[in-house]
Every structure is written in structure tokens, then in C-alpha cells.
Amino acid sequence: MSVVIVGGGHGGASVAMELRRNGYSEPITIVGDEAVLPYQRPPLSKAWLKGEVDESGLTLRPLQWYVANNVTLRLGTRVQSIDRDRRCVTLADGATLQFSSLVIATGARARCLTMPGANLDGILMLRTMLDADRLKQSMRAGANIVIVGGGYVGLETAASARALGANVTVVEREARVLARVACMPLSKFFTEVHVSHAATFELNASVVRFVGDTHVRGIELADGRILSCDAAVVGVGAIPNDELAQACGIACADGIVVDAHARTSDPHVFAIGDVTRRPLERYDRQVRLESVPNALEQAKHAAAAICGTAVPPAEVPWFWSDQYDLKLQIAGLAFDCQEIVVRGDMATRKFSLFHLKGDVVEAVEAVNAPVDFMFGKGLIARRLPIVKEKLADAAVPIRETLA
């Protein structure tokens, strides 16, 4: 009996912790291709970039934890292939590891752009600690930084760059930032906040070429304008690292397909985190959720299934983002919602947007409003109806908004 975990990121380390917490006493090995202890990525675009935390602040557990808990780390090496019949994996150095259960936690990689000039120096991505180190070096006061992509990573990077005194232009192909992941009022709010911090936006704008000899000096937009820059950050989404699973015949569909308990199409193989496409029963869909809470939830499910312990309860998906002095917390997914109720005054930068189907809350987006977020998350889980007029009135205590 032994568990091999492929990927030493947030999900990989968390499933090892959950296995030990559940009393699993057999050997556990984590194989990770980054040559550092498993660490958390969220600070990479926030506190780490601004120099507010060092490496020890990113690490999920110190080395002593892995030693004390008999978790073997094989870091700086890749799993090359999975042999499902022989139940072993082969590493890049030719070693093989047997498993009784395998957990694939290979995450996702930053999507690259392929237009002319995309390989110039100074065009940076943000997925790993190494990426963040490179980026930090470019973010000096007065530098001109163009950020391609107005998603969460792009906007958090923009906020950090402004905090460091760099000049920032965000180029977004869609008509609004956060188009895939937030509602229109929230996109507008965040655009205005960034503009108030002197960031510039180019919306409905596509990059056709990066300009420069060896180092990027500008980006050319589809309308012919060239925005000059000292560095460009590309934050245009992530691609799941599901090739290992595809190659050994495990079902994939833009991500490894898993059930609600992180099981793949092979009963001995589990998959968790950004690499998975998972069901969300409440929303009747299969989705890829790129978030820490999702990786943690799936780690609990995989560990419980491997140990034969009680199935953990399903959780409401949630996410957070920090930009300037704002903490955004989102719970639930606003699919097919009919109405948005605003609670609080957006001008005060403390408010919540509740997405409703009838009188039931399906999702909440809360800015500097942790109580609304927590209450909303509970409402979503329990499907409790609310009274819209009370919810919209911030003078009514949130607990008194139930129908």
C-alpha cells in the first residue's frame, strides 16, 4: 500500500496532510517538478510581488513536517508517464514508483500568446515563484508595464505594480475586465478603482505583435497603435496539465474528468485542483475551478476515499482577490441568475452584490464585507429564501433578511 501524488503544489501538499489527518499510515510520496517546498500561489500576485512576505511566508509546511509525517518529497523532477496496469509512475530520471492509489495534482500552466515577438525578453507570465521573481525585478518605480489580460491575476498584478510606483496599462480583449468571472457592476467598480490609482485601460483591444529587438519595447494593438513598455505581463488564463492522464487513457475534457469525490475514470487514480473538471451538483454543470478552496475540498474528498473514512460534506465554491485596500470574496456561481441585489453603497467601497434566482441567493460578491460574504455563503448552502427589500437595506442586520 502506498500513495503517490503527482504535483507538489497546493493540492498535492494538502492531500498528503489530509491523508495523515485521516490516519493513513502507509508511505506517501509527492513528486513535484518545482525544486522548492510546496507553496501557496495567491501571494505571488499580491504580498510577494510587493515584497511584503519572504519565501517562508509562502511555504505551506516546513521541511520538518514532511520528515515528521513520513512524506517523501521528490522535488525538481517530473512524472513522465503513468502505467495503470502495473500501477506505477516513471520519473524523468528513469526511477519508477509503485502505488496502490495515485493522486494527480498537476495544476495548470499559464496560457502563452503566439503572435510575432511573443518570445522577446521582458514578456513575463505569473504562475510560479520563479515567474514572480522575474516580474518583481521589472516592477521598479517609474517602469512602464503593460498587462495583457484583465482577469484576477492581471488586475492583482496591476495593483501591486502601482503600489511599487510602476506605470500600468491593462489591455483587455473584452469590453470589460473580469468578463468571465464577475458581473458587470463589479467589473465597472474595479475598473474605476484602478483608474483612481492611475492605472490605464485599453478595453476591446487585441494585441497583434510585441515590438522590440531582443527585449520587448512595446505592444502593437489591432488598431495600429503601439504602447511602449519596459516589460509586458501576459495573464490570459491557464491550461490544465492533463497530458499525463490523457496519455494513459484516463477520461479528460479540457481537464481530468472527476466525480464529486475526486475519482477519475480509473478507480485507483484520483485527481484534484486546477487540473480537474468537476461536477457541481447544485449548478448542474461540470466546471474547472481554479481556486485554493476547490483544491482543498477535493484533497479532503480524495483522502477520505483512499482511507475509507466518512465522505466530507460538499462545499459552496468560493474565491478571493486582494487589490489595493479591497478584499473581494465571492461565494457560489451566478449561472442563470435573474436579479442582482446591491447591499451597501458601492461608493464607500464596502458592499455586496447578491445574485438571485427568485428569492434564493445563488452567489454573492462581497467587497470589504466579510460578514455579508459569510452569511451569503451559508444562505447559498442552505438555499434559504430571503426578503429582497430587507437584503437591499444595509440598515437591516443581515441575519434579519431571511423570509
Select the span of 38-46, 113-121, 203-211, 384-392 touching ligand FAD (CB under 6 A): 38-46
> Quick one: which of 30, 6, 85, 77 has its CA closest to 249?
85
Pick between residue 218 and residue 255 the one whose CB is nearest to ligand FAD.
255
The residue from 3, 12, 161, 264 that contacts ligand FAD (CB under 6 A) is 12
Residues in the chain: 403
Q: Are 256 and 250 in contact (CB under 8 A)?
A: yes
List, in sequence order, every beta strand (DSSP E) within 20-67.
28-32
**Cα-based distances in Å from 202 to 4, 173, 198, 206:** 46, 8, 13, 9
How near is the Cβ of 253 to ligand FAD at its closest, in Å?
Answer: 17
Site for ligand FAD in 72-91 (CB under 6 A): 78-79
How near is the Cβ of 99 to ligand FAD at its closest, in Å?
Answer: 14
Q: Is position 317 an interface residue for ligand FAD (rule: CB under 6 A)?
A: no
How near is the Cβ of 213 to ligand FAD at its closest, in Å?
Answer: 29
The residue from 18, 220, 242, 274 that contacts ligand FAD (CB under 6 A) is 274
> Quick one: which of 323, 123, 144 has its CA closest to 211?
123
Select the span of 5-13, 59-67, 175-183, 188-196 touching ligand FAD (CB under 6 A): 5-13
Which of helix, strand or coil describes residue 354?
strand
The residue from 101, 106, 169, 323 that contacts ligand FAD (CB under 6 A) is 106
For residues 241 and 247, what is the distance between their CA atoms, to the nearest angstrom? 12
**Cα-based distances in Å from 78 to 91, 96, 192, 214, 271:** 6, 11, 43, 31, 17
Which DSSP category does 173 fall into? S
Pick between residue 95 and residue 222 the one whose CB is nearest to ligand FAD.
95
Q: Is position 321 an interface residue for ligand FAD (rule: CB under 6 A)?
A: yes
Pick between residue 98 and residue 206 the one whose CB is nearest to ligand FAD.
98
Phi first, then psi: what are they for 346, rounded to 5°?
Answer: -60, -30
CB neighbour list of residue 4: distance below 8 Å, 6 or more residues apart = 28, 29, 31, 89, 97, 98, 99, 101, 102, 103
Q: Is position 32 an interface residue for ligand FAD (rule: CB under 6 A)?
A: yes
Q: Is position 393 an interface residue for ligand FAD (rule: CB under 6 A)?
A: no
Q: Is position 288 an interface residue for ligand FAD (rule: CB under 6 A)?
A: no
Per-residue interface string for the shown chain with ligand FAD, residues 139-178, x marking contact by CB under 6 A = --------------x-------------------------
For residues 362 and 356, what is the distance between their CA atoms, to the nearest angstrom? 6
* Max Cα–Cα distance, the chain, nearest Å: 65
For residues 128 and 135, what is the distance between their CA atoms, to the nearest angstrom? 11
The residue from 37, 103, 126, 164 that contacts ligand FAD (CB under 6 A) is 126
Select the span of 1-9, 51-59, 65-73, 113-121 touching ligand FAD (CB under 6 A): 1-9
Pick between residue 105 and residue 207 the one whose CB is nearest to ligand FAD.
105
How near is the Cβ of 49 to ligand FAD at its closest, in Å?
Answer: 9
Contact set with ligand FAD (CB under 6 A): 6-12, 31-34, 41-42, 44-45, 78-79, 105-107, 126-127, 153, 241, 244, 273-275, 290-293, 295, 319-321
